[in-house]
Amino acid sequence: MRRLLLLTVAALLQVTEALWNGAVPVNPANYPTKDAVPTAKPEWLTLYSESSGNHLVLKNTGFTLGIDATKDIVYCPNSKTVWGITLDDGPSPYTPKVLDFLDLIPEVKITFFVIGSRIMEHPDVLVRAFNSGHQIGCHTWSHPYLASLTNDQIIAEMMWCDTLVYDMIGVHPRYMRPPYGNIDTRTRAVLKLMGYQIVVWSQDTKDFQSSIPSNNFNEQWIVNNMSIWATEQKAGSLVSGNNSPITLEHDLFNISADAAPYAMMQVLSRGFDVQPIGTCLGDQQWYSGVYSPAPPKYNSTTLPTWPLAVINPSPVTTSAVTATATATAAASSVATRTRTSSSNIIVSIPFLISFFCLTSAYLL
């Protein structure tokens, strides 16, 4: 009887943890296998072939619907003073560190391009980012090279990501980013048929290299890159014309998520207006049939205090890619990766109690 009671309490606490984090628990039986190219539902293929009136698009014939690379979103247009910040490949266990920082500056919103397979693991983080007013875009289900897939597989990758996003937060994203920036005219044609705005980037922090131990990647390089770019953009020499940059970062990795707040401060400290991609394009329809008002501009000259404010950029005289971090920055980098926020500790309490109950039940 005691064992049954403990098992019941453990199950209830697991549900409580999911609700505590603001997400409905994901039932894996309703979705494809994680990190594998999924199969499209027949009705999806019928929808897109019939709505276009052109079945050639679904036969890999090379028909392009007039698509070309110039239609991809690379810059924020019509301004030299805004900045589009994007984070890819989440949600992850490290995304909350970025959200904790952004909570200190509620006027500032960014864009998260999320992967369906990662939402399966961290639905609560997706819900938190959305409820905080950040833009959510689709980054496919399994992060494949889209140009290597059939049209049916491309539709499946996007629709399963869209389906899970909708199930979690109730919206259908209109913006997407192709993994690795891998896209061709055929892929663009399929994505246009599906109604997507295709977002790439003008500046890449290369922070994905932080996931490769042999690279000995230092988060200081990410901050230095952003510092150099912000200085060049302020001088009008970073991007051509009356445009502003869209920068690529990742919240999937610990080091890159640690560096993201400091990279963002390099932009904010120079007076740039950080915006979600939809806002910097003047588009309030981030999601199908839903309008998102533009967030207010961040006008404060005082940046928020963040635990690792000792991470400062090296003088902007050398390439950030080869810059060497100071001993202080390196030490603080270690401190970051061992830090756990109080909010994460609180959220973990139900899990720890659940684990204790399950262990006790097993021993009884």
For 217-252, b where at least 16 C-beta lie within 10 A, e where not — what string? Answer: bbbbbbbbbbbbbbeebeeeebbeeebbbbbbbbbb
Would you say how long the chain is, in residues?
364
Mention every residue, 6+ apart, whose C-beta is less than 8 A from residue 318.
Answer: none
- Distance separating alpha carbons of residues 230 and 218, to the nearest angstrom: 20
By the 10 Å C-beta count (0-12 exposed, 13-18 middle, 19+ buried), 39 is classed as: exposed
Within 10 angstroms of residue 24's Cβ, the number of other Cβ atoms is 13
- Distance separating alpha carbons of residues 252 and 233, to the nearest angstrom: 27
Residue 45 in 3-state DSSP? helix
Report DSSP state, residue 189: H
Residue type, 295: P
* Catalytic center residues: 88, 250
Residue 275 in 3-state DSSP? strand
Mention every residue, 6+ apart, whose C-beta is less than 8 A from residue 309.
Answer: none
Closest CA to 272 of 293, 311, 246, 294: 246
